Amino acid sequence: MDADIIRESLESSGLRCTPQRYAVMAFLMERNSHPTAAEIFDAVNRVDPRCSRATTYNNLRDLVQAGLVREVAVEGRGARFEAIQTRHHHFICDQCGAVEDLDWYDVPKPAGAALGKRVFRDCELIFRGLCQQCAKRKPKS
Amino acid sequence: MDADIIRESLESSGLRCTPQRYAVMAFLMERNSHPTAAEIFDAVNRVDPRCSRATTYNNLRDLVQAGLVREVAVEGRGARFEAIQTRHHHFICDQCGAVEDLDWYDVPKPAGAALGKRVFRDCELIFRGLCQQCAKRKPKS
DNA sequence: GTCTTAGATTAGATATATTCTAAACAGCAT
DNA sequence: ATGCTGTTTAGAATATATCTAATCTAAGAC
Ligand SMILES: [Mn+2]
Ligand SMILES: [Mn+2]
Ligand SMILES: [Zn+2]
Ligand SMILES: [Zn+2]
């Protein structure tokens, strides 16, 4: 049962474990997808404790600030989120926009000279192409 | 003079070279930044030929479809664009959101098994941290 | 237990970003 | 000129995100 894990991670970040906040965090942890705020709002309201649109956005903001959730860099209109788990890269489908996880592997950093006076924190690899479903549907160009 | 280069690249993609479309493309080519649609709209209207908001968006859509422009993957609300030039990676500032180019260097692809039945097209590396300006402003944590 | 208070939630209004609509326009071919 | 196709336009409509001010909740003080 990761109910306690969620509760503790919220509280150790200085966030109260409210039903709404818990529902948002639990939803993100039990999915390996990259849902939009609208999808999260719909999902957590399909079960009981009502969570308003503002609260969904507020909680996503708080969870990102607390470092428990990240906003994923994608092109397209709606922000997408994921719970922070093991490091991984992303695959984005040209056709349907699906964002899928790929296992992490180390990536060479740019040369110090290229970074200049910037402060490096992290890096992430984005692959593009066709996801399995779209590849199947489009046999040859 | 790259006026003819722009004209030709538009026409060889099957797009008429209208003043509005030219202005959008020229603006993207003479900048190495990653402007939002709103910034592009403002910039092309600072000079003469008026370009409505809808036309700015229409042309950005057409230019992306034609493969002359790409939408950059970033977190945050407004889509960002860049003319397609030499391959490069990106650095995104945690603090101010600036998107900067880094010289291209090759990146190892994931193992075939990890890609599964997906069709690989391209990959891109995103670095994160503090840009030069924000690093200066924030000496130590 | 009651009080106090900071934090959290809410509905709805507002702000921002993007797309749609329908009419007008521009260039080209007949 | 006429028609054709692609383009532009203002404004409306939709989608996405944030703000406001009132209310609620729960943890700590008493
Ligand atoms: Mn992911
Ligand atoms: Mn770039
Ligand atoms: Zn796909
Ligand atoms: Zn910065």
- The whole-number pLDDT of residue B73 equals 93
Output Rg (C-alpha) for chain A, integer angstroms.
18
What's the mean pLDDT in B108-120?
Answer: 89
Residue B127 has what pLDDT?
A: 94
pLDDT band at B84 (very low <50, low <70, confident <90, very high): very high
Return the residue of B nearest to A98 by Cα. B118
**Mean pLDDT over each residue of chain B, to the nearest integer:** 92
Domain at A86-141: CATH code: 3.30.1490
DSSP annotation string for B66-107: TTSEEEE-BSSSS-EEEE--S-EEEEEETTT--EEEEE----
Nearest by Cα to B34 from B109, B78, B99, B126: B99
User: Whole-angstrom Cα distance, residue B74 to residue A24?
Assistant: 23
Separation between Cα atoms, residue B74 and residue A74, nearest integer Å: 5
Express each pLDDT in B89-113 by its tens digit: 999 999 889 999 999 999 998 888 8
pLDDT at B112: 83
pLDDT, averaged per 10 consecutive residues of chain A (141 residues), comes to: 87 94 96 94 88 97 96 93 95 92 92 89 93 82 49
Spatial distance between the Cα atoms of B21 and B10, rounded to a whole number of angstroms: 9
Taking the complete model, does pTM exceed 0.85, yes or no? Answer: yes
Q: Which CATH architecture has domain A1-85?
A: Orthogonal Bundle (1.10)
How many Å apart are CA B22 and CA B38, to the nearest integer?
17
pLDDT band at residue B1 under the 50/70/90 scheme: low
Chain A residues with CB-CB distance to B77 below 8 A: 79
For residue A122, give the nearest of B89, B115, B128 by CB distance. B128
pLDDT score of B139 = 62
Amino acid at B54: A
The b-or-e profile of B83-112 (16+ CB within 10 A means b, else e) is beeeebbbbbbeeeebbbebeeeeeeebee
CB-to-strand D under 7 Å, chain B 66-85: 77
Q: CA nearest B136: which of A116, A117, A115? A: A117
Q: Compute how many other C-beta atoms are within 10 angstroms of the C-beta atom of residue A114.
A: 14
The per-residue pLDDT for B78 is 93
- Concatenating the DSSP letter of every residue in A9-52 gives HHHTTT----HHHHHHHHHHHT--S--BHHHHHHHHHHSSS---
* B108 contacts in chain A (CB < 8 Å): 105, 107
Angle (deg, nearest 10), helices A37-46 and A53-65? 120
- State both tokens at B89: 């990676």
pLDDT band at B32 (very low <50, low <70, confident <90, very high): confident
Percentage of chain B exceeding pLDDT 70: 96
Which chain B residue is nearest to residue A127, measuring alpha carbons? B123
B116 touches chain A (CB under 8 A): yes
Q: Is the pLDDT of residue B141 over 60?
A: no
CA dist A73 and A75 (Å) reads: 7
Residue A3: predicted pLDDT: 83
Q: How does pLDDT run across B47-76, given as a tens digit for each residue?
A: 877 899 999 999 999 999 999 999 999 998
How far off is chain A from B121, nearest CA to CA, in Å?
5
Domain(s) of CATH 3.30.1490: residues in chain B: 86-141
Tell me, yes or no, if A113 comes closer than 8 A to chain B by beta carbon: no
Q: If pLDDT is split at 50, 70 and 90, which confidence band does B140 have?
A: low
Where along chain A do the CATH 1.10.10.10 domains lie?
1-85
pLDDT score of A54: 97
Q: Which of strand D's nucleotides are less than 7 A from any protein C-beta?
A: 6-12, 15-20, 26-27
- Strand C closer than 7 A to residue A67 Cβ: no
Q: 3-state DSSP call for residue A57?
A: helix
Q: Do A126 and B123 touch (CB under 8 A)?
A: yes
